[in-house]
Amino acid sequence: MLTEKTHTGGFLLSEANGKRSRENVTLASGQDLYDGAVLGKISSGGEYTALDQGASDGSQTAAGILYGRGDASTAALAVCIIARDAEVNGDELLWGSESPTEVATGITELATLGIIVR
């Protein structure tokens, strides 16, 4: 039996013309995330990390979605994210350990960025 792995941008249904939906950012060190991971932005320093609604450093608010894999397990890493104006497949997003209520909150936060979860 073969198992198909995720594809870069496989969660995207549509995005704005050109690369307007995308942003180059820095993924904080100490994590290995996959395509479609919902990210929060750490207020101090501006690095991105996996969304953690239990945090109080800024990363508790959804700020984008990782486009491609980001292995920052040993050092911070430059990555591309979907930051605005896109439609995404909700079944393809990675929310970590967020509860269904927290996922609903994250979906609302993404909508404020113009990222619509279908």
- Read off the CATH number of the domain in which 25 is found: 2.40.300.10
pLDDT reported for residue 97: 81
Query: What is the domain count for the chain?
Result: 1
pLDDT reported for residue 42: 97
Does residue 111 form part of some domain?
yes
pLDDT reported for residue 83: 98
Does residue 7 form part of some domain?
no
Q: How far apart are CA 43 and CA 92, in angstroms?
A: 27
Q: Which residues of the chain have pLDDT under 50?
A: none
pLDDT reported for residue 96: 85
Closest CA to 51 of 33, 68, 69, 67: 33
